[in-house]
Structure 1
Amino acid sequence: MSKRTTIHDVAKAAGVSVATVSKAVNGRYGVASATVERVNEVVRELGYESSLVASSMRSRATGVVGVLVADFEPFSAEILKGVGLALRDSRFDLLAYSGSKHGQSEGWERRSLSRLSGTLIDAAIIVTPTVVGASSEIPLVAIDPHTGRADLPTVESDSLEGARMATRYLVELGHTRIGFLAGRPDLRSAVLRESGYRLALSEAGITYDPHLTRVGMYHPRTARDAAMALLRIPRPPTAIFAANDLSAIAILEVAHQIGLEVPRDLSVIGFDDIPEASQFSSPLSTIRQPMRRLGAEAAKMLVLLLNGEPLPATHLVLPTRLVPRATTAPPRTDSAQADSSRRR
């Protein structure tokens, strides 16, 4: 059996990029006519009968669903596994694409869709978008959507209740100075997790203290700086709820760096339950969201849209649950905590 020709083969033979091949075969603006002719000649020469590019040129369909992520971090990896499982018995293949070369650069979804739509993918799942909407001629579903109003289907976890459970759990352990490391403020999940944190404090009769909140942006490097600042204030928290597990892990690293023992000196709880959360010598307490199911439900939505079928619901919210582990415990006595604070 002869080797299947790919779009990368076409790009190499034509001496252009994959993006240029995509634009050329779709007649998009920005490619010189001589380049378009060269690309089309290569397509004909290579006998593209089974390739995605050739089939899309003939039928305007590829049979491929794209998952667009800013970065292949643990949350996105679990989403991809869920999408893959949901598509296993369907007629659609999966293409995973990281469209942000600079972390969370705004608008990476639009650039990615411009490159992939019509030639490589028939529909897309966008994970943690940076914009309210992404104009496209193909069906789209967003996972962990933006705070702004978007006219596309969305799938997310119950961030409000999850954050409420995490904070209430720390309160029930006896903590009253509870810090919060917030996520990306442009994502609905981050806004709801802060609301859940504040709600649980209010229900416990604890006054919200803005000095106990820092923004970690869901990113380890930013979270480390935020955690250090939070633990250096005159009266630091005895417990911290982080809006995602990567931020919680960053808190653990900072605590170790400045000589705090977890959970004796500081309790830490995250949100996600990524695989890494249970693999530490002291496994991380967290709020579990069904990440693989998020991907699976988004994939099911796309398949229905591609088949021209109505969606049972356009905005799906999945439940979360508390997973207590080794990084949370009741606070130390006032005298012991004071000694710990002086060491910081």
Structure 2
Amino acid sequence: MTIRHVAERAGVSVATVSKVLNDRYGVAAATVDRVREVIEELGYESSLVARSLRNHRTNVIGVLVWDIEPFSAELLKGAAGAIRGTDYELVVYAGGGKGSGRLGWERRYLSRLSGTLIDGAVMVTPTVLDVDSGSPVVAVDPHSGRETVPTVDADNLQGGRIATDHLIGLGHRRIGFLGRPPRDLESGPLREAGYRAALADAGIPVDPQLVRAAGYDESDVRNAVHDLLSLPERPTAIFAANDVSAISTMEVAMAMGLRVPGDLSVIGFDNVPESMMTEPALTTVEQPIQLMGRLAVEMLLEMLAGREPAQRHVRLPTRLVTRASCAPLPGGPGLPDLADDARLPVQPRS
């Protein structure tokens, strides 16, 4: 359906339809009503590219992600909420985890969209921030930390401490950590740093055998978990740096004949909806993912309006959400030997 079809159906010129679409003067009210009625009837929508060429704006915000997975899906909910009541629309651009390489994906995505399809972008977990798109950009949970680009992230260091402190408080001393490769997100090393700091504060030495890094393939995570649980002196608890890895950890443990949490306590990080649906339900550290998405879009809207955001770097707090995947270590230091079906109370989400 083109603008010419609208003009023919309404019995006016293409130029008149163009004036109506762009709210220009010189068209009688009755004609405007007739053209808009035909536009509605035919379902006509002008091309974003054409709109950009005419007005140098599309009123579209892009959310750029490497892949659609639980974290980015939750973040999109917050981003969508932020544009309600505005003149902006949202487009999500994802490579589906494919491409010639993960590093630098945001440059490729921005080059395809900026200047024609979007007015600005929110980049989710970008690998680099030295992007020159000519359009405003906000980064969520960047790999390289804060730079000139405005950022939104969570207090990953404190979150790592919270998770590890919880396991230590349950009497666990052999606590495994399942993280990401060092080249990955800044949040991964920060969560590991929190894990190490909590152990140090408790006087527990870090056993290098209990610290494992896994890639993005599920098979990498499962192999790392299997190796951890096959150690002669296996961990009694594992802190996985994200909920997806924590869920895989529980699945591998149970496939190996271990009970969660009877034989192994597991804690994750993120609090994505899937964490509540596991059996047992996953104890995790919550970062406010939807709020992160909403704040990132709100910052971008401020920039698109020509204003400086009140804060260029926003760091949000994390909190513990206790469910059923962690339990006191039977016979642990200063703790009673609880029954196999002992469970911790569920902490409701606020």
TM-score, scaled to structure 1: 0.81
Q: What is the match of residue 312 of structure 2? A: 314
Distance 1:51 1:93 in 2: 14
TM superposition shift of 1:76: 0.3
Pick from 193, 196, 199 the counterpart of residue 194 of structure 2. 196
Instruction: Provide, for residues 309-330 of structure 1, a one-character-per-residue CA deviation record: whole Å limited to 9, x for no partner.
Output: 1111111001111011111001
Note the 1:112-261 alignment, pairs <5 A.
Answer: 112-147=109-144, 150-185=147-182, 186-217=184-215, 220-261=218-259
- Contact preservation (8 Å) 1:106, 1:130: yes
Q: TM-score, normalised by structure 2?
A: 0.79
Match of 2:92 among 87, 91, 96: 96
Alpha-carbon distance in 1 for matches of 2:146, 2:301? 23
Cα drift, residue 50 of structure 1:
2.3
Alignment match, 2:291? 293
1:276 to 268, 274, 289: 274
**Residue of structure 2 in register with 1:43 after alignment:** none
Measure how far apart 1:133 and its partner are.
Answer: 2.3
Name stretches of at least 5 consecutive residues in structure 1 with no aligned partner.
6-47, 338-344
Q: Give the direction of change, closer, same or farther, for the CA distance of 1:4–1:253 in structure 2 (3 Å limit).
A: farther
Gaps of 5+ in 2: 5-43, 338-350
Contact residue 66 and residue 97 of structure 1 kept, 8 A? yes
CA drift of 1:333 comes to 4.1
Q: 2:70 aligns with which of 74, 79, 85?
A: 74
**Matches of 2:305 and 2:159 in 1, distance apart?**
34
* TM-align CA RMSD: 2.1
The structure carrying a bigger helix percent of its residues is 1
Q: Could you list the per-position Cα deviations for residues 145-204 of structure 1 after superposition, in whole angstroms to 9, with x for gaps in the alignment?
A: 112553200000111111101100000000000000013533111111011001110111
Larger Rg: 2
Query: How many angstroms does 1:238 deviate by?
Result: 0.3
Q: Secondary structure at the match of 1:200?
A: helix
* Cα separation, 1, equivalents of 2:325 and 2:315: 28
Contact kept? 1:141, 1:152, Cα under 8 Å: yes
Q: What is the distance in 1 between the residues matched to 2:295 and 2:192?
A: 25
Structure-2 separation of matches of 1:58 and 1:226 = 54
Contact 1:219–1:246, Cα closer than 8 Å, also in 2: no
Deviations 1:29-83 (A, max 9, x none): xxxxxxxxxxxxxxxxxxx972211110112211000000111101000000000
Deviation at 1:140, TM superposition (A): 0.6
State the identity %.
53
Aligned residue identity for 2:272:
I
For residues 101 and 214 of structure 1, the distance between their equivalents in structure 2, rounded to whole angstroms, comes to 22
Query: Are the structure 2 counterparts of residues 282 and 58 from structure 1 closer, same or farther at C-alpha, using a change threshold of 3 Å?
Result: same
> Are the aligned partners of 1:184 and 1:218 in contact in 2 as well (CA < 8 Å)?
no
Would the alpha carbon gap of residues 292 and 246 (structure 1) be closer, same or farther in structure 2, given more than 3 Å must change? Answer: same
Number of aligned residues: 292
Q: Provide the C-alpha distance between the structure 1 equivalents of 2:255 and 2:324, rounded to a whole number of angstroms.
A: 19
